[in-house]
Amino acid sequence: MRVSVDLCLVPLGVGVSLGPSIALCQQVIKASGLDHQLGPNGTAVEGEWDDVFACIKACHERLHQEGVQRIHATLRVNTRIDRVQSFRDKVDSVNRLMP
């Protein structure tokens, strides 16, 4: 089953700047080959369910390997079985409605 996820990982105890940890997670996501797009407050990731959730697990593992002791993650998960629709399709659909 295909899934689209909005992923927000917040490493705790790493100081005010989250950028270095987010960059590490972006490397993991890119290496996964999944379609993704970094946003200002999270990353959209989509693909097959098992692949997406394996990628999320790999992000956690990578940050823990780098010494992050605790990670708070927020996920919004979307599945649809009546047709194939990417997160980019959804954004384009709304943009077409804008004056």
* pLDDT tens per residue across span 36-85: 999 999 999 999 999 999 999 999 999 999 999 999 999 999 999 999 88
Give residue 85's pLDDT: 87
What is the CATH architecture assignment of 2-97? 2-Layer Sandwich (3.30)
| Separation of alpha carbons 85 and 65, rounded Å | 35
Tens of pLDDT, residue by residue over 10-29, are: 999 998 999 999 999 999 99
| Separation of alpha carbons 27 and 98, rounded Å | 34
Three-class HEC string of the chain:
CEEEEEEEEEEECCCCCCHHHHHHHHHHHHHHCCEEEEECCEEEEEEEHHHHHHHHHHHHHHHHHCCCCEEEEEEEEECCCCCCCCHHHHHHHHHHHCC
pLDDT band at 87, cuts 50/70/90?
confident
Q: How far apart are the first and last CA of the chain?
A: 35
pTM of the predicted model as reported, rounded to 2 decimal places: 0.90
